[in-house]
Amino acid sequence: MGRVVAAKQRIVFFGSGAFGLPTLEALRSAHEVSLVVSQPDRPAGRGKAVTPTPIAQFALSKGLPLLCPTDANAPEVVEEIRRTPADLWVVIAFGQKLSVGLLADRLAINLHGSILPAYRGAAPIQRAVMDGNAETGVSVIGLAERMDAGVVYATRSRPIGASETADDVHDALAQLGVDAVLGVLEEFSRAEHHRAGFGRTQDEALATRARKLSKSEATIDCAALDAHAVRARINGLNAWPGCEVGLLPQGESEVSEWVRLCRVAECGGSELSPGLMSADGRIGCADHAAVQCLEIQRAGSRRMSFAEFSRGRPVAAGTRLVPRVIV
């Protein structure tokens, strides 16, 4: 049987981060977006200029009705949102917990960046990469009182590439989410499945948490971890908060400069001592294997390939990578 095309529906979209952009674009094309609710403008970038969220910027550029409340659960905001004609609410990376009073008697779904019940919480994509998982995915769920614990309506999965960073996986999952969300809307259009047991309950025994990232994690001790763990941590913490290390040339007592390791790939066995970097960017790890540094960033500079980095200031063979102490 061919895929059923969902009847055009009126949608209130809640979102702030770029993770929801592909789905919002698709919903605007296939359905009617009655209202977009996003976070207020905030300082962003190096200049800290007050800037709309990516979702708000899209809504403004397309002339979509937009609401950016400081508190989406404030009584006057709840009243305005609830009187907006809608068949469905879609929530993706909004950044505020929606209250029971706001959600009462409304059909609302959420796109989450993991295959639930694994990685509930604020940083599912980064934690999956940091844990060295072979694959990850997205889940479309109903909203529940407990975080990310709702009924699962759909999942989609994909492998995590050998040198993919959390940012790469984020963008890929954002695209994967489009098919998942539109597929759920198609199911809803078949026979009001949301009122007839559509979806599966999550197994609480399998639930894991993906805690929010912090600046205190922005370092790595390559001498203490095997190559798989080094690759997973560096790539998982890219682009924020990153992995900062000092370059300590052989025979020197002081770090020559601090850099951020941005992207690496495992490259097999190595004669390098753990924690040392070769002139060509290989890094020795605790299991006497190595990772190859593919991208690196100097303080105050842009990210660049290791080859480009070396042309500006070559790394001496035997340079030790010193973990940054962050307090």
- Torsion from C-alpha of 122, 126, 127, 133, nearest 10 degrees: 140
Residues 170 and 222 grouped into a single domain = no
Residues 195 and 263 grouped into a single domain = no
The verdict on residue 160 lying in a domain is yes
The residue among 144, 176, 210 that closes a domain is 210
The verdict on residue 1 lying in a domain is no
Residues of the chain with pLDDT under 50: 1-4
The verdict on residue 107 lying in a domain is yes
Residues 131 and 144 grouped into a single domain = yes
Residue-level pLDDT at 32: 97
Q: How many domains does the structure of the chain reveal?
A: 2
Residue-level pLDDT at 43: 86
Residue-level pLDDT at 2: 42
**CATH (domain of 245):** 3.10.25.10
Q: What angle do CA 149, 154, 155 make, to 5 degrees?
A: 90
Residue-level pLDDT at 264: 98
Residues 19 and 128 grouped into a single domain = yes
Q: Strand order in 88-92's β-sheet? A: 66-67, 32-37, 10-15, 88-92, 108-112, 135-142, 152-159
CB atoms within 10 A of CB 182: 20
The residue among 210, 245, 271 that closes a domain is 210
Residue-level pLDDT at 312: 83
Residues 198 and 219 grouped into a single domain = no
Residues 93 and 185 grouped into a single domain = yes
Express each pLDDT in 276-290 by its tens digit: 999 999 999 999 999
Q: CA 316 to CA 95: how far, in whole Å?
A: 45
**CB-based burial label for 265 (10 Å; 0-12, 13-18, 19+):** middle
Residue-level pLDDT at 4: 47
**CATH (domain of 115):** 3.40.50.170
Residues 16 and 152 grouped into a single domain = yes
Q: CA 171 to CA 67: how far, in whole Å?
A: 25
Express each pLDDT in 191-227 by its tens digit: 655 555 689 999 999 999 999 999 999 999 999 999 9
Best CA proximity match to 67, nearest among 14, 143, 103 = 14
Residue-level pLDDT at 301: 93
Host domain of residue 247: 215-323
Token couple for 146: 């407990």
